[in-house]
Structure 1
Amino acid sequence: MTKLLLSLHVLAAIVAIGPVTVAASMFPRATENRPVLHRICRVYAAVGIAVPVFGFATAGVMGVTGEPWVIVSIALTAVATFVLALLVLPGQARALAGEATKRLAMHTGLFNVLWATVTVLMIIRPGSTTGA
């Protein structure tokens, strides 16, 4: 069961978070494809809910929910979610409406750095009692 949940968690992260990070990164400099990139970000952000769902299930089965690397990853995931929902997606919508969005690239970069940090924590697992 652990291997199945972990596989689903990793696949969800690749399939859902990957497209958001790429599309969001391309958006500030794009001209013609902005509506398509914004739609990709919105749709895959919704699909991305599967990542923490499978993550919580995996952590529960592995018995690592209270591990510091998991707690920090959960907190960073929550921050990344808020950055995407409250800064990146609304900033893209404002840009599509013709408004200036000076900080959109910065917010997108912050979102991407948060996810990169979570990914590294998932691999390195500092203080983990589960090996690796």
Structure 2
Amino acid sequence: MTKFLLSIHVLAAIVAIGPITVAASMFPARARRALAGSGADGGFAVLRTLHRICRVYAAVGIAVPVFGFATAHSLGVLGDAWLITSIALTAAAAGVLGLLILPRQQRLLDSVPNSGPANLGSHGSGPARLAMYTGVFNVLWAVVTVLMIVRPGSTTGV
């Protein structure tokens, strides 16, 4: 049962977190282009699609910690420091996504159709700040991934 839970946990992470990472990383550059008025390449539609991918897969991503807790319980490692650290980093990543990335993407989306090159200054550092938050989100997930593989101090041998 442990191997099944671990497989589902890893698959959920790949299927859910991977698309968020890619779509969220693409969003700021596309937003910059759209705000600069070069939306001729379907920039607005692409932005909406990238934001939708982030929102939908964020909801699907709930499965990752659910199966992670089930796997940890099955392995008997719920009290291990590497797992507690991973849980804290996962919660931080979820917070960055839900509180910083998704709302800022929505704000930029709401402002893009009404913007042109003349209004670019009114958005300040929106895309740049969004890119920074996305980078933080990506680094948090990278650290969690490394902790899940290395498991410092673990004696489970799985």
Global fold match (TM > 0.5): yes
Q: Tell me which structure has the larger Cα radius of gyration.
A: 2
Runs of 4+ more than 2 Å apart: none
Aligned to 2:16: 16
Question: Does residue 77 in structure 1 map to residue 103 in structure 2?
Answer: no
Aligned to 1:122: 148
**Which secondary structure does the structure 2 equivalent of 1:130 belong to?**
coil
Aligned to 1:88: 101
CA displacement, residues 51-93 of structure 1 (integer Å, 9 cap, x when unaligned): 0000000000000010111000000000000000000000100
Question: Aligned partners of 1:121, 1:107: CA distance in 2, in Å?
Answer: 21
Question: Aligned partners of 2:157, 2:82: CA distance in 1, in Å?
Answer: 13
What TM-score, normalized to structure 1? Answer: 0.97
Q: Which one-letter code corresponds to 2:141 in the other structure?
A: W
CA displacement at 1:131 relative to structure 2: 2.5
Matched residues, number: 132
Query: What RMSD over aligned residues (CA atoms) do the two structures have, in Å?
Result: 1.1
Map of 1:27-42 to 2, 5 A cutoff? 27-30=27-30, 31=34, 32=43, 33-42=46-55
Unaligned residue ranges in structure 2 (runs of 5+): 35-42, 112-121
Higher-RCO chain (CA-CA 8 Å, sequence separation at least 6) = 2
Q: Percent of aligned positions with the same letter in both sequences?
A: 71
